[in-house]
């Protein structure tokens, strides 16, 4: 099987971690590839379309079908999506991903009332990690292939929303958080977004 070592699809910042963690550093980005930063979201670092948003507190819960959801994350994600939609990112270019059915349905209901759509393309991805508990249990998020697919789907930008304390206890996520938050300083506390009225963010 031939390994294609050069990718022509994603912003180069989006390939760095997956190249190191899953492909032994062999996955490269074509020098000719140029992708603009997605507008509408306050990226913490210039020319770095990758961000982790920490949602403090243990807000996960289970519905009657025993699927996990996180209401605070859902509200935040819908508001972020709204910001992107206002900057012409509608038209199927924003994708929201979560590994839990209850969270997906929660977000879909909110989006349908907000903007009439739940888009499935992969220009910008907003990922809801959902898990936030004092047992450091992350369920599906331990699955390396699933995480790799999520990290490598977006073309232009990736926003991960989750609980830093819970996710950092798992080896793979600790590595990713170290890469994004510690090395590249691309971190936002959701409470800061809530307080900035210019961003129209509310998680209440």
Tell the burial category of 125 from Cβ atoms under 10 Å away from its Cβ (0-12, 13-18, 19+): buried
pLDDT the model gives residue 54: 96
pLDDT band at 86 (very low <50, low <70, confident <90, very high): confident
Whether residue 45 has pLDDT greater than 90: yes
Q: What percent of the chain lies above the pLDDT cut of 70?
A: 85
Mean pLDDT, residues 185-204: 65
d(C-alpha 60, C-alpha 106), whole Å: 13
d(C-alpha 147, C-alpha 15), whole Å: 13
What is the set of domains in the chain, with CATH numbers?
39-202 (3.40.50.300)
pTM check: above 0.75: yes
């Amino acid at each position: 099987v031939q390994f294609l070592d050069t990718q022509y699809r994603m912003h180069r910042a989006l390939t760095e971690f997956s190249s190191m963690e899953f492909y032994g550093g062999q996955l490269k980005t074509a020098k000719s590839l140029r992708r603009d930063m997605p507008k509408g979201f306050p990226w913490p670092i210039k020319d770095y379309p990758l961000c982790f948003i920490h949602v403090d507190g243990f807000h996960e819960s289970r519905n009657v079908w025993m699927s996990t959801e996180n209401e605070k994350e859902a509200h935040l994600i819908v508001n972020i999506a709204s910001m992107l939609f206002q900057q012409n990112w509608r038209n199927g270019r924003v994708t929201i991903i979560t590994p839990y059915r209850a969270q997906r349905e929660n977000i879909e209901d909110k989006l349908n009332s907000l903007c009439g759509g739940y888009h499935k393309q992969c220009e910008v991805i907003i990922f809801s990690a959902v898990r936030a508990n004092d047992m450091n249990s992350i369920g599906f998020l331990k699955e390396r292939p699933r995480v790799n697919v999520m990290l490598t789907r977006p073309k232009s930008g990736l926003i991960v929303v989750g609980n830093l304390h819970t996710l950092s206890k798992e080896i793979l996520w600790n590595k990713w958080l170290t890469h994004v938050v510690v090395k590249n300083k691309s971190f936002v506390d959701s409470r800061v977004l809530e307080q900035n009225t210019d961003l129209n963010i509310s998680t209440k």
